[in-house]
Structure formats: C-alpha cells, structure tokens
Amino acid sequence: MHEPAWFRWARVIGLTLLGLFALLPVYVMLTSALKPLPDVEGVFRWFPSHLTLSPFVDMWSTIPLGRYLVNSIIVSTTASVASVLIALLAAYAVSRYRFRGRQAFSITVLSTQMFPGILFLLPLFVIFVNLGQVTGLNLYGSRTGLIITYMTFTLPFAIWMLAAYLDTIPRDLDDAAKVDGSGPMGAFIRVVIPAAVPGIVAVLIYAFMTSWSEMLFASVLTNDSTRTLAVGLQGYATQNQVYWNQVMAASLTVSVPIVVGFLLLQRFLVAGMTAGSVK
Amino acid sequence: MVDTIRAEQPVAASAPSPPRSRRRRRELLPYLLLLPAICLELLIHIGPMLAGVGISFLQLTQFYLSNWRAAPFAGTANYAVALNLNGATGQALLHSFTVTVFYTILVLAISWTFGLVAAVLTQRSFRGRGLVRTVFLIPFALPVFASVITWNFMLQQQTGAVNRILLALHLTRGPPFWLIGPNSFYSLVIVAVWRTWPFAFLILTAGMQSIPADLYEAAALDGAGIGAQVRHVTLPLLRPVNRVLLLVLFLWTFNDFTTPFTLFGSAPPTQADIISIHIYENSFVSWNFGTGSAMSVLLLLFLLLVTGVYLAIGQRGERHA
C-alpha cells in the first residue's frame, strides 16, 4: 500500500520519541547498576566512570535482599498457583454450563476487580488481628495471611481470563472426548486442560507478576521477617542516604526474570488479556 | 467411569433424558466446580467487604483494634466527618479527591493518545516493527516498584537524570525539585503515563488487527489519506474496544496505590495526595479505621456511580447508532 513520505517521517520521529521515553528508565537502571558509588552521588552521569559489578555483590548485605526475595517468591508462587487451580474449576463451569446463578457469579467476579484494595485491606487487617487474639492463629504479619489477601486480586482476574480462554476452545473437543467414554470431568482433565495450557501459563505469569509488584497489602501486613521485595526496596529507596547504584542493581535483578518471562510469553499474554476487551 | 456413551452437550436441554440420579449429578456439577471459588470469594471478598461497611459505622480507633466488638457504635458520624467540608478531615478528603480526578483525567488522556499514535504508526509492517513493539511493552512488563524506584532516582534534585536533561537543554535555570512541592503532581502524572500507555497501545493494536484490511483499501480508493482513514475507519471501528479500555484505565488509575506510594512513601506532598494514599494514611497513620472505612465506602460508591453512568451512556449510544 502506498505510504506518503510524511507518514514515514512521522513514524520514525514518533516511534523514536516514544521509544526513548519507554527506555530512559531502563537505561538509567542498567548503567547506574554498573557504576561505582561516587558516580551516583554527584550530578547524574550518562556513562559509568568505570564499570563495576560490586553493587550486585554489596546489595545483599546493605539490605536483607535475600530474605525479601525468598518471601516474594513464596508468596507470589503460592498465590498464583492456588488461584489458577481454583479459577480453572470455576472457569470450566462458567464456560461450559448454563446454570442458575451463572450470571450473578460472573458479575460478582468482574465487579470485585474494580473495588479499591483499601476497602478489603482495613477489614482484613482487623479480622487478622482479632483472629489472632481469639484463636492464636497468627495471620497478621505472616506469609499465609499475605497469600490470602493476594488472592483477592489474583483469583477474580484468573477466573475471568481463564473463562474467556476456555470459551475459545471448541466444544467439539469436549464432545469428542465424551463420545470416547469420558465423563465431563474426564473430558475436562484429558482434553480441555491440555488445550488450555497456553492460557493457563499466561494467567499464571500475570498473576505472579501482579503479586510480585503488590505494595498496598504487603506494606501493612508484613513484618521484618516476612517483608517482600516491593516493600523492602521501596522502604530503602525513600531513606535519606541511599546507595543508588545498589538500589538500581537490586531493581534490575528482580526485574529481569519478570521481563524475560513476559516477553517470552508475550503472545499468549496479549491474547489472553485482549480476549475480554476486543470481542 | 460408566461405560455408556454420553454424547449430549451439557448445555443442550433437549438431550434424551439420562437416569434421574445422573442428571441430578450433572446439574450439581457446575456448582461443585464453583464451590472452592465461591467459598474463597465469600471469605476474602464478600465477608471483608461487609465487615468494612460495618466498621464504617463504628468508632474503631487503635484502642479497639484488637477487640473490635467493644468499639462504640458511631452511627453515621464517620460519614459526617468525611463529608463535612467545614472540617479539616472533609476538606482534606475533598482536596485529595480533586487531585485524583485531575490526575486520572490527565493520565487517561495522555496514555490513550500515546497508545493510539503508537498503534497507528506500527499498524503497517516495516522493518524493525517487532522490536519496536517489544520495546514499547517493557514499561508494562517491569515490576512497578522497580521501575518507579528508578523514576524516583531519575527525579532526584541533585543526582537525577531528569534535571540533567533539562539543564543540558537549558529548559530550567536551576535544578527544580520534583518529588516535593507543586512539581510532584506532574512527576506523578509522567510516571503513571509511562506505566499506562503501553497497555493502551497493546489493546488498541489488538483491536486494530481485527479491522478488515479491505475497509482501508476501499477508503484509499475513495481518496482518503492516512489521516482520513484513521478518522473514518480506525476510530469508529475501535469504539467498542475504547469503551472497555477507557473504563479499565480509569479504574486502574483512580485506584492506583503502588505508583504514588513507591514515589513518595506514605506521606505524599499535598499536591500529589492521591485518594488511595490519603485513605491509607488516614487509617494507618492516625489508626482511625472507622473514618478510613467510611472513606473507602464513599470511594466505592463513587466508582460504582461513574461506572454505571458510563455503561448506561455507552448502551444508549449503541442503541442510537
């Protein structure tokens, strides 16, 4: 198709500007992580005076980064796996059956996604504290408590996205399995779940990503030993005396796996995420 | 499993009726599948939400936190305090609400525009398009706290990259403060736009892919240039996508806590006092959960109202179209 010259110029200029905007923080993070401390204490330098890997070594002792990392991995993994398992069952019901209350269930799931997190945080906090007083079950400050609260956002989202994904799997597949003698659950386990693997992985990754970055619940419901990366790093970065090269090294370290995972599964994720809104 | 052949679709009601017990079981199956999700929803969503509404009618201060049944009933006093525009609390809440509304409008408008421009510019294939798309998605893929902490470093007055650029371009005389004072509002908007526009780009790109190419060809044959094609083909056909996209962006931006909290901590400058942080601060710094809950209920009512009106207008528009 014919493209006028002005359009090609507009494309080069527009995409370059947007690309610079998108990448500027990435550049700053990357180069600052490789700088010696004096480089980040004066006026900003575009290039390190010399390259050093010491921020990547020192960051583990400046703040308890290792503990934060373990906490974040445990909490995010458990919350996303648990919500995907529960959501998968619910999504199968919503996608394949017409039953009374189906609409009500879907609307409830969808609408809880728009609720402000603070609305759940205050009562959950009170419930956790009181439950601890009455039963000795200590959820406040524990990882279990945090996992439960994380499911307030991972679960509805997982149900919604998985139901949309299962809708794209042809029913003929289920029916064929049933002709072969499987019951509805057999068809679900042997045919629908394998066909839904890309969607399941995408939802798993996205749930993991949102848990990994969660700040509101973790800032209140964790203590020194259960602190997650998000809260730990934020707390350190807003102090007066900050070793920015180490903070950048730590930010880079905790970002790389997430970004790589996202970019590898980009296509599935995008398909899953847009399934609901583009139709 | 039973060895009879079952070819009926679960959805079809007209299937030959199987034995009653099995049909009962089949009718129960969806509910069994939903049971774990429903239990959890009740436990973490419905229950706490009702508790939250309950708390908003209590005078729940730190003295009663560990024994909330002893907290005195406050009636609508918490709501009265939150809505009393002559009192300090009400005035601060209104201020925070106004800031949040302006913030949301700016972030939405800029992010959507950036997303649309990027989607239109990458619509036709050219060399390096895949790379450009990947680059645009990086801000969305990065963990929010990691990227916003980087912005925090970039916005430092003495050591930040932003002031370095501005001074090099002679756009300011001295290095301004970005994280305190009036500029903090714009810092927040810029960081939020940086986080948000890739999502708009993603959804708009996906929406454009479902527009048939022959529509553009027909428009081109009629003599429509690229500008006219965007106006008369792309935008009208993106309307359903935009309707959902704008609503999602609105709810995300309005409720966003992580971006302002990572940038400013729990005590943001008044110019950037976003409502989610404001309620948070009111609840956990002053330990007054009653007013905090009343404020979050009010916030929810506002969001429900906006969403309801928005959807209703959209439906009416659709019917007239």
Entry pTM: 0.88
The arithmetic mean of pLDDT across residues A53-76, rounded, is 93
* pLDDT value of residue A273: 62
The arithmetic mean of pLDDT across residues B251-273, rounded, is 90
B163 lies within 8 A of chain A by CB = yes
Binding-face residues of B in 263-292 toward A, CB within 8 A: 264-266, 276, 279-280, 283-284, 289, 292
SS (H, E, C) chain B: CCCCCCCCCCCCCCCCCCCHHHHHHHHHHHHHHHHHHHHHHHHHHHHHHHHHHHHCCECCEHHHCCCHHHCCECCCHHHHHHHCCCCHHHHHHHHHHHHHHHHHHHHHHHHHHHHHHHHHHCCCCCCCHHHHHHHHHHHHHCCHHHHHHHHHHHCCCCCCHHHHHHHHCCCCCCCCCCCCCCHHHHHHHHHHHHHHHHHHHHHHHHHHHCCCHHHHHHHHHCCCCHHHHHHHHHHHHCHHHHHHHHHHHHHHHHHCCHHHHHHHCCCCCHHHCCHHHHHHHHHHCCCEHHHHHHHHHHHHHHHHHHHHHHHHHHHHHHHHC
* pLDDT value of residue A199: 86
* pLDDT value of residue B109: 97
Residue A229 pLDDT grade (very low, low, confident, very high; cuts 50, 70, 90): very high
Across the interface, do A116 and B220 touch by the CB < 8 Å criterion? no
Per-residue model confidence as pLDDT tens digits over A258-272: 898 888 777 776 666
CA distance between the termini of chain A? 27
* pLDDT value of residue B12: 42
- The residue ranges of every structural domain in chain B are 77-320
> Is the pLDDT confidence value at A23 over 70?
yes
Which of residues B11 and B33 earns the better pLDDT score?
B33
* pLDDT value of residue B7: 41
Stretch among A79-88, B23-32, B307-316 having the lowest mean pLDDT: B23-32
Beta bridge pairs of residue B288: B61
Binding-face residues of B in 218-257 toward A, CB within 8 A: 220, 225-226, 241, 244-245, 248, 251, 255, 257
Per-residue model confidence as pLDDT tens digits over B191-221: 999 999 999 999 899 888 888 888 888 888 8
Nearest CA in chain B to A42: B159
* pLDDT value of residue B4: 39
> Is the pLDDT confidence value at A196 over 80?
yes
| Residue located via tokens 């068809």 | A187
B303 lies within 8 A of chain A by CB = yes
* pLDDT value of residue A278: 43
Chain B residue numbers with beta carbons less than 8 Å from the beta carbon of A273 are: 202-203
Stretch among A3-7, B5-9, B268-272 having the lowest mean pLDDT: B5-9
> Is the pLDDT confidence value at A99 over 70?
yes
Chain B residue numbers with beta carbons less than 8 Å from the beta carbon of A42 are: 158-159
Residue A15 is encoded by which pair of tokens? 């995409």
The arithmetic mean of pLDDT across residues B38-49, rounded, is 87
DSSP three-state, residue A47: coil
Class of the CATH-defined domain B77-320: mainly alpha
pLDDT > 90 fraction of chain B, expressed in percent and rounded: 36
* pLDDT value of residue B139: 94
* pLDDT value of residue B316: 73
pLDDT > 90 fraction of chain A, expressed in percent and rounded: 41
Nearest CA in chain B to A127: B48
* pLDDT value of residue B317: 66
* pLDDT value of residue A1: 53
* pLDDT value of residue B172: 83
Among the partner-chain residues B65, B147, B159, the one whose CB lies closest to the CB of A42 is: B159
> Is the pLDDT confidence value at B286 over 80?
no
* pLDDT value of residue A4: 83
> Is the pLDDT confidence value at B96 over 90?
yes
Residue A137 pLDDT grade (very low, low, confident, very high; cuts 50, 70, 90): confident
Per-residue model confidence as pLDDT tens digits over B17-29: 556 666 666 678 8
Query: What's the Rg (C-alpha) of chain B?
Result: 26
Per-residue model confidence as pLDDT tens digits over B110-149: 999 999 999 999 988 888 898 999 999 999 999 999 999 9
Per-residue model confidence as pLDDT tens digits over A117-130: 888 899 998 888 88
Handedness of CA A28, A33, A37, A38 (dihedral sign): negative
Among the partner-chain residues B27, B132, B151, the one whose CB lies closest to the CB of A15 is: B132
Residue B5 pLDDT grade (very low, low, confident, very high; cuts 50, 70, 90): very low
Site from A8, A111, A234 to mutate, B interface, most B CB atoms within 10 angstroms: A234
Question: Whole-angstrom Cα distance, residue B280 to residue B218?
Answer: 54
Among the partner-chain residues A28, A113, A149, the one whose CB lies closest to the CB of B153 is: A28
The arithmetic mean of pLDDT across residues A160-181, rounded, is 82
User: Residue-wise over B227-246: b if at least 16 C-beta within 10 A, else e?
Assistant: eebbeebbeeebeebbbbbb
Residue B280 pLDDT grade (very low, low, confident, very high; cuts 50, 70, 90): very high
Across the interface, do B265 and A234 touch by the CB < 8 Å criterion? yes
- The residue ranges of every structural domain in chain A are 63-238
B1 lies within 8 A of chain A by CB = yes
Chain B residue numbers with beta carbons less than 8 Å from the beta carbon of A96 are: 10-11
ipTM tops 0.85:
yes
User: Residue-wise over B274-297: b if at least 16 C-beta within 10 A, else e?
Assistant: bbbbbbbbbbbeeebbbbbbbbbb
The CA-atom distances, in angstroms, between B1 and each of A175, A187, A239, B104 are 16, 11, 63, 55
The arithmetic mean of pLDDT across residues A11-30, rounded, is 95
* pLDDT value of residue B206: 87
Nearest CA in chain B to A239: B265
User: With contact defined as beta carbons under 8 Å apart, do B170 and B85 qualify?
Assistant: no
Binding-face residues of B in 94-153 toward A, CB within 8 A: 114, 117-118, 121-122, 124, 126, 132, 134-147, 149-153
Handedness of CA B306, A150, B263, B140 (dihedral sign): negative
CA-based nearest distance B262→chain A, Å:
6
Chain B residue numbers with beta carbons less than 8 Å from the beta carbon of A152 are: 44-45, 48
Among the partner-chain residues B68, B132, B244, the one whose CB lies closest to the CB of A277 is: B244
Class of the CATH-defined domain A63-238: mainly alpha
Question: Whole-angstrom Cα distance, residue A219 to residue B262?
Answer: 11
* pLDDT value of residue B8: 40
CA-based nearest distance A262→chain B, Å:
6
Across the interface, do A262 and B258 touch by the CB < 8 Å criterion? no
Site from B21, B159, B291, B304 to mutate, A interface, most A CB atoms within 10 angstroms: B159
Beta bridge pairs of residue A222: A141
Among the partner-chain residues B139, B203, B216, the one whose CB lies closest to the CB of A277 is: B203
* pLDDT value of residue B149: 95
Across the interface, do B206 and A15 touch by the CB < 8 Å criterion? no
